[in-house]
Structure 1
């Protein structure tokens, strides 16, 4: 039986996915026809593959669809959509994970080794400063889902003292794991570097505020490739001003692109990157979508199935 797949995303994504997705589906043993928006009646669609910034906002007409498969790892823009009653899966993509691990480990090593003092050295000072060994630095990863767990494992391999925190307890080899409200503060206590990989939910908004920054080691570092609302911006600026936090590297923001007038741009203790920590690659994303369609057709659980109550 031929399955009808709707790809609902920005027009620029049609060309790469129109080749890669059918190829991945064929490799998974699936007979599919890929349609763009407006080319097929909603009631004839078997699966909706979508980006949350694409044209489909009302999922109610897709009465036959078995699942909505997001091209994004984050689902905060769609999880509350009351018209979306079918199973919803977020993107779990190997390249997304690999890219995040590379970015996070790079930024952690940058701050751990104090690389900036040598890159930005206009006075050409000979700065003989010996960094600590990784075994003497506590790195806390807040959010140990698929991305966070992979980053934590990579940091363990580099010999850091790694702590991990999530809403429910996770067991990751080599990582000191924490969960719940009390565990949150235990994970932060004395941390030299904190990596934020939590989802954006009402419970996580401003999770990094004045008290959280104060719990970290003095002169610590904050790295946020997760979600902009995790950080209380005023509290971060105050922590940087006092020296409690030495530097913040931020890849995500409440408003993107970050407005040119925003204080973060010119702040000497903040590095701004343009939401580039990791990106979905068309080839591996197509394989992930094809695998989830295969699983759905076989009656197997979807990878990345979203818990609507939890919000991720």
Structure 2
């Protein structure tokens, strides 16, 4: 009898995911009834989920073996009291590659003073003032050392940037100078000329970048945030930019999305806004992760990227 897979990730995503999911399930030999509707919730074996989809109450899905999120972040679902089923988050190769490309591109952009060259076409030869140091002389902080953070840190280290990593719990990663805890965060920030934020959003990381922590960074440092908008205190960041403490902020994620037209970030000369494009989930690669987790669920094997409810990710 085919297993019942309910695609509850939004009608707008269904056309893009339908065939990749069917193909991925078929490749693994899984006979599945895949649909974007669930007339009998109790008969559903797996839910493919994204915020904004049709499911907010998981209690009717009494036979559901796992909820498989298409998002890397799970802050909008992990505290749902009706969600008693195992929950997984999305970590897939396409998403990881996209994040590495975004982070590497913007780190190099700030490192090489590319903005100044683009906007300084005024006939003035600024060779001395715009000559960057070598990458090995430009420390970069990677705040968050999960799958995405580690991949980005490795790519930057391969370009000879000294990478200082920070995570809430201690980690040891070859080629990365790893730190943890409040003291470790202060140390990393005090040395980082560019900081990349790739932390999950939890009670411990919300407003992590306060005025005090921004003040720890070398004057004129750059911040790149493709992680979660609320990791940064917006007012503190704007004040630090105005004061020159922070030289530039490249922001891909925000407390409210889409970012409202009147938000100060849009018009600030030291802010680059990108519209949450750093690491979009790609149907072809994401479908393989979903299918593999369904295979694992049916075989009684541990699920990939299962969320720890206490940690929140």
TM-score bin (small chain)? over 0.9
In structure 2, the residue matched to 1:46 is: 45
Cα-Cα RMSD = 1.0
Shift of the alpha carbon at 1:214?
A: 1.1
Alignment of 1:115-264 (within 5 A): 115-128=114-127, 129-264=130-265
SS at match of 2:191: coil
Return the offset for 1:184: 1.3
What's the CA shift for 1:122?
A: 4.9
**For the residues of structure 1 that align with 2:110 and 2:196, how far apart are their CA atoms?**
12
Q: Who is 1:57 aligned against?
A: 56
SS in 2 for 1:12: coil
In the superposition, the TM-score normalised over structure 1's length comes to 0.98
Specify the alignment match of 2:27 in structure 1: 27
SS at match of 2:291: helix
Contact 1:4 1:45 in 2 (8 A): yes
**Is contact 1:142–1:196 with CA below 8 Å preserved after alignment?**
yes
> 1:125: Cα distance to partner?
2.2
The number of equivalent residue pairs is 311
Offset of residue 40 of structure 1: 3.1
Instruction: Answer whether contact 1:95 1:281 (CA < 8 A) is retained.
Output: yes
CA contact (8 A) 1:171 1:177 kept: yes
Per-residue CA shift, 1:79-116, capped at 9, x if unaligned?
00010001000011110000000000000000000000
SS in 1 for 2:223: strand
Match of 2:108 in 1: 109
CA distance in structure 2 between the partners assigned to 1:215 and 1:138 by the alignment? 14
Which 4+ residue blocks in structure 1 deviate beyond 3 angstroms?
A: none
* Separation in 2, partners of 1:137, 1:158: 11
Distance 1:241 1:190 in 2: 21
Q: Distance in 1 between matches of 2:6 and 2:239?
A: 47
Structure 2 gaps of 5+ residues are none
Q: Which stretch of the first structure deviates more once superposed, 284-293 or 13-22?
A: 13-22
TM-score (norm 2): 0.97
Whether contact under 8 Å (1:153, 1:172) holds in the other structure is no
**How far does residue 147 in structure 1 lie from its aligned partner after superposition?**
0.5
CA distance in 2, matches of 1:131, 1:122: 18
> Aligned partners of 1:124, 1:231: CA distance in 2, in Å?
38
Q: In the TM superposition, what whole-angstrom CA distance separates every residue of 1:34-72 from its partner, at most 9, and x where no partner exists? A: 0112x4300000001111111100000110010000011
Cα shift at 1:185: 1.1
